[in-house]
Amino acid sequence: MTVLEGARERRVRTGGVDLCVAELGSPEHPTVMLVHGYPDSKEVWSEVAVRLADRFHVVLYDVRGHGRSTAPRPLRGGFTLEKLTDDFLAVADAVSPGRPVHLVGHDWGSVQSWEFVTVRRTEGRVASFTSISGPSLDHFGHWIGRRVRRPTPRRVGQLLGQGAKSWYVYLLHTPVLPELAWRGPLGKGWPALLRRVEKVPDDGYPTGSLPRDAAHGAWLYRDNVRERLRRPREDAHAHAPVQLVTPLDDAFLSERLSDGLEEWVPRLTRRTLPAGHWVPRTRPDRLADWIAEFVAGVEDGRPEVPARVRHADRFGGRLVLVTGAGSGIGRATALAFAACGARVVAVDRDGDSAARTAELARSAGARGAWAETADVSDEQAMAKLDAKVAADHGVVDILVNNAGIGLSGSFLTTTPEDWRTVLDVNLWGVIHGCRLFGRRMAERDQGGHIVNIASAAAFQPSRALPAYSTSKAAVLMLSECLRAELAGRGIGVSAICPGIVNTAITSTARFTGVDAEEEKRRQRRATRLYGKRNYPPEKVADAILDAVVRDRAVVPVTPEARGAHFASRFLPGALRSLARRNPPL
Ligand code: NAP
């Protein structure tokens, strides 16, 4: 194994063991500490470490009893989380005195790192934590407890699902079986098994210390698992921002384990990856990018969302996708989520305006902001967008189907082509968004929210807006139906119904039955009228964030929209009379 070539090695002595520590990159840079799992040694991180070493001070160490670190004597009681925390602090003090480190843990490396980021004595020593395939035993204990105390068919299914995936944990608790197995066929066949089942590349994975590491590592389980799951700590709250990377095809851990994790982690960034358990070896590029991005964000102070920003605790790190984000309500919404520290994907058919929104979002405080070009009415373009976003950033947590166009003119002057254009964008755009991103949200089964921008025109008939109002009424009903369907999966759906909002929509809206000159005149008039009303898109954005937090079904925004909503329910006749009058435009 040569990939840790160039690494500087040192020994750190702590609590009767001698830890083998390797360093890459300049100690002037922020320290990223990579903690390996079971049955591994620090070399599992080789491919990730070399990718980070040009920007960070990368530190790896063999956990006690593994690789070239010595084992405690006796083994029993030598691997408790308290002792592992002593080791972490000793290494951190040696390699990064006086400056907190960014932890990254995989498998048992993640399990123990959860301890490091949730116990009080490490406060100030951990700058951030990226967790991959290894839950906190305390959170896991509470997760089990809640499902046992309040069982529902769904919760029992989740318990059984994780129970089946934990078969190896029961085996590891048996007295000598694991030791014998690892010294025998399992030890020899392990690299081939990883290659076949996990698609781990065959790059000379070190096997020399494997039987010994695996036998020692069994004590990680025996010393901690039963005890912690039975009596989980009540105060296991993270004192640093956490990035959770969930491989969706992990054979050992259910995605469900991180349900409700926000309760323990105030600043949580979720990422998902279509991969198996050993992502440090199978997806080092993706992992190194995400670690670098997250660490850089923390170093720049980006996850520290100012307390004055409402809902910062709710949206920090969430992946939010907004369509029609290049202007008006879409841009304001993207920026409002950005100010809460969300990660924002700004989509527009105009790539330049989307790029500008992404740039503004970064300055507003987004933990990441990216621009994508797509026409929401184009099914294939949307499918491509969906695949790209999933591959680059994971499953969208909050989807805002906002892109829309205006069309004004009587029914008799509206051509089939006009109908198609407005329905393609205003209705089909929403359908494509909900189908593609909504499906991934549902499959991930960790909740989420879909916001569809309808309009007060959805419940207020008008002789001037038959096509536009029809498209928005359809969006409203689609949202209601989808809300019913997804409720059981913890996914909220909100229909937002703004009234008159001062955006560019008036200058791009089409008017039917008139020549180009008259159309321009009407656009100018509408723009003046909307300008006079002067209701800012930022207020609609506030209403959208509020709708997500409160999981509201239908939200009329602006006083006239609220009035129309009220009248549609209690005074429909009055609205019908109003609909017959010629509009002011
Ligand atoms: P806006 O300022 O014109 O913004 C809409 C954005 O969506 C524009 O950047 C537009 O790009 C983009 N877009 C249009 N068609 C698209 C497509 N097919 N694919 C991708 N992007 C597309 O308008 P807005 O007022 O913010 O409107 C946002 C939403 O609010 C719309 O659904 C609208 O119907 C709804 N709404 C607005 C009002 C209002 O008074 N403003 C009231 C009720 C509801 P282009 O500039 O290239 O067209």
- Tokens 């116990």 locate to 119
When comparing pLDDT for 248 and 522, which is higher?
A: 522
**Helix-then-strand count for the chain, H and E:** 23, 17
- Spatial contact of 305 and 279, defined as CB atoms under 8 Å apart: no
Looking at residue 308, its pLDDT comes to 41
- pTM (2 d.p.): 0.62
Residues 175-193 pLDDT 10s: 777 777 777 777 777 777 7
Is any atom of ligand 1 closer than 6 Å to the C-beta of 236?
Answer: no
Looking at residue 275, its pLDDT comes to 84
Read off the pLDDT band of 204 (50, 70, 90): low
Is any atom of ligand 1 closer than 6 Å to the C-beta of 84?
Answer: no
Mean pLDDT in residue range 195-205: 72
Q: Whose CA is nearest to atom 7 of ligand 1?
A: 324
Residues 22-68 pLDDT 10s: 999 999 999 999 999 988 899 999 999 999 999 999 999 999 999 99
Is any atom of ligand 1 closer than 6 Å to the C-beta of 507?
Answer: no
Name the active-site residue from 61, 221, 468, 535: 468
Backbone angles phi, psi at 489, to 5 degrees: -105, 10
Active-site residue flag, 468:
yes
Is any atom of ligand 1 closer than 6 Å to the C-beta of 377?
Answer: yes
Residues 246-255 pLDDT 10s: 888 887 877 7
Site to probe by mutation for ligand 1, drawn from 349, 382, 475, 560 as the one with most ligand atoms within 8 Å of Cβ, is 349
Query: Separation of 324 CA from ligand 1 center, angstroms?
Result: 6
Write the CB contacts of 477 (distance below 8 Å, at least 6 apart in sequence): none
Which residue type sits at 379?
E
Q: Average the pLDDT over each of 202-206, 223-227, 522-526, 552-556 and give the range with the smallest value.
A: 202-206
- Tokens 């030890």 locate to 187
Query: Separation of 440 CA from ligand 1 center, angstroms?
Result: 25
Q: Average the pLDDT over each of 248-262, 473-487, 512-526, 568-582 and give the range with the smallest value.
A: 248-262
Query: What is the position in ligand 1's atom list of the atom closest to the CA of 403?
Result: 7
Cis previous bond, 100, omega within 30: no
Query: Separation of 435 CA from ligand 1 center, angstroms?
Result: 20
Q: Whose CA is nearest to atom 41 of ligand 1?
A: 501
Looking at residue 2, its pLDDT comes to 41
Task: Determine the length of the chain.
Answer: 585
Mean pLDDT in residue range 265-286: 85
| The pair of three-digit structure tokens given for residue 384, joined into one six-digit string | 């491509």
Site to probe by mutation for ligand 1, drawn from 505, 533, 534 as the one with most ligand atoms within 8 Å of Cβ, is 505
Residue 170 has pLDDT above 80, yes or no: no
- Spatial contact of 269 and 131, defined as CB atoms under 8 Å apart: no
The sign of the torsion formed by the CA atoms of 275, 389, 380, 485 equals: positive
